Structure 1
Amino acid sequence: MKVVLVDDERIALDHMRTLIPWEDIGYEIAAAATNGRSALRLCEEHRPQIMVVDIRMPVMDGLELIQAVAERGWGVKFIVMSAYEDFNYARQAISLGCVSSYLVKHEVDREKLVRELAKAKHAWELDERQRQLARSEQLKEAFLRGGRASREPFGRPPLCALFLQADAPFAPIPTAAEPQDAGGTIGWTEACRQMAEQSGWARIGEFSHGAGRLVALFEQHDRGAPLQRDAFRAFASALQRKLCDLHSRTISLYYAFECADGAHLPEAMRKAEYAARHAVFAGRGALACADDLPLPSAATAMDVHGRSRWLDESASCLKQDDFVGFETAVTKLFDDLARPVWDLPGLYEAVGALSVLYRDRLAAAGLPEADPLDPRVAGPLYDAAAIRERLIQAFGALREQGTAALRRLSPKLLQALRFLHAHFQDDIGIEDVAQASGISVRYVHDLFKRELCRTFLDYLTEYRVKQAKLILMREDAKMTEVSARVGYRSPQHFSQVFKRLTGMLPHQFRAEERAR
């Protein structure tokens, strides 16, 4: 805890320095001054928690100093030192509310000073908790409100916004819901406080931003020095190791600096949060400065046609049984999604399209429905490279099951299945599939019976239930939403169909899957 000594008599200052073993009992004499004006400058530079101040001084006396510091809201606690005849004068200082105690100079001994310092420290800690809560609320409001802050309540640059996020597996379906295994942030705030005390950065405040996420703000101790990027990274790295050990899981940290104007701080906070949204590109256990990442801006034009071209090429290679070409096309597609900027919507689109292509191949082979990224098969996925490899492996394994089986279905049935898979959530019937395929309803019926050994309605129902299972396993969506998303207007009807095919109700299936 930092202390600044202020007295116009140098003998008195030397006496205070030697009266007690300051560092041994947890205090650091950050500076000393012989008048209030110098003390005010030192207070702004060092931001002490306690100041021991004489009342009568030249240039700026103790009362004026206390008033000036109080007006700036620095939260300093004062121990006032004076003589008997100055008590009425000192009482004015006490009325300001930031004076912890008043001591008569010639009565101060070692025990009394230690006791009064402890009293001031306790008072500062109580006030600091309240200030932390207030600052955290201001931070959260600025972050959620967006735009430029109307004033500068968060300290002076250099500032750094830090976004901490527990790593969660990639979910192929983007959702605003919290990751199921994100966990809490118990101990994160205390770890930030402890680690910051050992670095060149001071913690200003923090707030929770959903399950397993925390936004924290820090200011550089030495604001007159150049930006200490390396020092902050070293602090963030040590904090990351401490949190990972604390929770026995990986946690990623993203940060952004604000060096010019504290009013722009909300932009830095949102930049760090935006980087965390692209965690699938950064990888598990990332420690990265958002300013250095290839994040897309609002003006970035994504190559939608390029994505479509690589996806079409992938499908064409599979159709020609050119697996080397398929692997090359998928690798190129994922490389383009990461350069020159991270294309998160494109990644979701690519995963969705390749998953549909995979299911089409399964259906063509007469194999049961499956998700190529099912975490229960080979574990969860955390980064784009692992997703790419898993997709390539899934298609490779399917190919090994027999090219002949993939070619067993007729082109017209494959066309019908593609339409069904794309529109299963709509109110479709066999007539719609027949029209889309350019054949008669009777012929569609015969194709399903002859080649898939089931009726059109049976296949459609099974497919809808399989899609419902995926939603139930990945999301916390309500049953009305689940039923609507798989083509059922009535949740009750959906529940009856689901139970008939699976032997359990949808909510029972979800509970059983999450208990595994």
Structure 2
Amino acid sequence: MKVMLVDDERIALERVGNLLEWSRHGYEIAATATNGKSALRLCEEIRPQIVIADIRMPVMDGLDLIRAASERKLGVKFIIMSAYEDFDCARQAIALGNVSGYLIKHEMDRDHLLQALQKAKEAWQTDEKQRRIERARQLKQALAESEALALAESEGEFRPPFAVALMQEDLPFAPVPPAGGGTANGPAFSWPEEDLLPLADHPEWTPVGEFALDRARFIAVYARKAKTAAPRRESFRELAAKLQARLKRRFGRPFSLFYSFHDDGLSTLSRSLHRVETAARHAVFCGKDALLCADDLPLNDADGSSLPLRGARLAELARLAETIRQLDAGQIESAINRLFDSSVRPYWDLPLLHETIRTATAAASELLAAKGLPAEDPLDPRRGGPAYHIDEIRSRLTDWIIGVCSAASPYRNLSGKLLKAVRYIGDHYHEDINIEDVAYSLGISASYLHQLFKREMDRTFHDYLTEIRIEQAKRILSREDAKMTDVCARVGYRSPQHFSQVFKKVTGLLPHQYRHGVRA
């Protein structure tokens, strides 16, 4: 906490300065002054939190200094020093407000000084919390309503350029875009409302305010420090890195930070907010722990997140789906790469990325359904951990689809009747079904369906049904902690003993051995 000492007697300044090991107690003597006029100038430049000042000084005395600092709303807490005969002046000073303590010069010692400093510190922290809450309210109102912060700007407290930083927790990518924007998975925690994020300090930037934009995202706004040259934009990255590191230490999880600069007044700051919000929605294109200037990113200013895809994009998506149905692994990889590249250049196209994943997953799920298997999510964290970056998603999606196509290739030429049969089995394998039930649903005889299985799949109906049921049981055993009787019932077996016998015959292991990782 920055402290300034003000006294027209150098000996008095040295005496107070030598009473404490200031840094040991969390204080720093940021400046000294010998009159109120120079002290006021220093207060505006270095913004100390506490000023220890004599009452009687030339040029501008302590009372006038307190009045001037209060009028300028500098937020300083004063500790007054005086002799016995100045007690009436000290009482006037206390009545002015912003005075938290009174010290008699000739009785001042280390303990008295520490007590006065602690009282001033607590008073400043209380006031600062209220100031920050009010600034947050004003900022949210200004950004929402495009209105100026008239009070702050009229006082000249903040000057352009401004920097807006948006911080959000890194969450795995979800293939389904969230309704109304924001993060798809929802936040794993909420920003604290009472205990606001401590803003980092910097020689060139001063905090304007901060607030939680919503449950997942936090905004901090900075401005040029008073009476300094226009800050270097590169310097804000240093400040942003401090904010990001502070978040990681405080919450123990990774965060990304996007920032944008604005050279106009606070009244038009909403443009920078829109820019960082758009960047945050596209976090999948930069991955975890991003620290990026949103002004430099290939974002579409129109942000067509809700616009339908048209023309060439739709044709390319249709070709991808057809390529997957044809089980052509080489063409599948090329088609996915073309669409992913189009979603990155010339600008980040989030709707195209979502639609590419949806189209590819739906086409591959048709192949799974043809085998009687349920649909899968290629980006399920249980399959290979969470995915944060578009390159991870591209690789995982491609590998999964090629794997599905490889497994489906024996069934690519199934007749329409048999394809309907395997789909029926996929929908009803957990029920007590037989070949007669399936044949009846297709309008053919059981003997004819038996012939189709033997001719086109080189197996019996019973063999195929058993294969599907055991495959499903393996999925349940590897992913869930369900009871064995529950597993048995969910895959269409009435007797746990019969289920165990069939499972061992197919896999070489009993169900509980498979669950605990025993491999033949």
RMSD: 4.2
TM-aligned CA deviation for residue 331 of structure 1: 0.7
Report if aligned partners of 1:100, 1:120 keep a CA contact under 8 Å in 2.
yes
Tell me how far apart the structure 1 counterparts of residues 301 and 377 of structure 2 sit (CA, whole Å): 32
Aligned-partner Cα distance in 1 for 2:111–2:364: 78
* Residue in 2 that maps onto 1:386: 392
2:72 is matched by which residue type in structure 1?
R
Q: Give the Cα–Cα distance (whole angstroms) in 2 for the partners of residues 245 and 318 of structure 1.
A: 46
Counterpart position of 1:480: none
Query: How many angstroms apart in 2 are the aligned matches of 1:370 and 1:91?
Result: 77
1:89-488 alignment to 2 at 5 Å? 89-143=89-143, 145-151=144-150, 153=152, 155-176=158-179, 182-184=187-189, 192-193=197-198, 196=200, 205-219=209-223, 224-241=228-245, 243-244=247-248, 247-298=251-302, 304-318=310-324, 321-364=327-370, 367-408=373-414, 410=416
In structure 1, what is the Cα distance between the partners aligned to 2:139 and 2:491?
A: 48
CA contact (8 A) 1:365 1:406 kept: no
The answer (yes or no) to whether the contact 1:136–1:206 under 8 Å persists in 2 is yes
Q: CA deviation at 1:392?
A: 1.4
Contact persistence 2:325–2:363 (CA under 8 A): no
Looking at structure 1, the residues matched to 389 and 151 of structure 2 have their Cα atoms a distance apart, in angstroms, of 38
Q: Is the 8 A contact 2:164 2:261 kept in 1?
A: yes
Distance 2:210 2:258 in 1: 14
State percent identity of aligned pairs: 44
Against the structure 1 CA distance between its residues 70 and 260, is the aligned structure 2 distance closer, same or farther, given a 3 Å change threshold? same
SS at match of 1:149: coil
Which sections of structure 2, spanning at least 5 residues, go unmatched?
Answer: 424-440, 454-488, 493-520
Provide the rounded CA distance (Å) in 1 between the counterparts of 2:5 and 2:264. 32
Q: For the residues of structure 2 that align with 1:29 and 1:381, how far apart are their CA atoms? A: 49
**Contact between 1:152 and 1:263, CA under 8 Å: does it hold in 2?**
no
Separation of aligned partners in 2, 1:296 and 1:370 = 32
Q: 1 CA distance for matches of 2:261 and 2:276?
A: 9
SS of match in other structure, 2:150? coil
- For 2:278 and 2:8, how far apart are their aligned partners in 1? 52
Give me the whole-angstrom Cα distance separating, in 2, the residues matched to 1:147 and 1:304.
33
* 1:81-115 alpha-carbon deviations (Å, 9 max, x no partner): 33445443443322122011233444444443333
Residue aligning to 1:31 = 31
- Greater CA radius of gyration, 1 or 2? 2
Q: How far apart are 1:366 and its partner, in Å?
A: 5.3
CA positional deviation for 1:400: 0.7
CA displacement at 1:202 relative to structure 2: 5.3
Q: Is this contact kept in 2: 1:199–1:235, CA < 8 A?
A: no
Per mean C-alpha deviation after superposition, the further-off stretch among 292-301 and 162-171 is: 292-301
Alignment-derived partner of residue 456 in structure 1: none
The alpha-carbon deviation at position 299 of structure 1 amounts to 7.6
Shift of 1:396: 0.5
Contact 2:204 2:231 in 1 (8 A): no
CA distance in 2, matches of 1:21, 1:402: 76
Question: By how many angstroms is 1:377 displaced?
Answer: 3.1
Q: 1:189–1:351: structure 2 CA closer, same or farther, 3 Å change rule?
A: farther
TM-score by length of 1: 0.70
Q: Residue 425 of structure 1 aligns with which residue?
A: none
CA contact (8 A) 1:148 1:267 kept: no
Task: Report how many aligned residue pairs link the two structures.
Answer: 432
Match of 2:44 in 1: 44
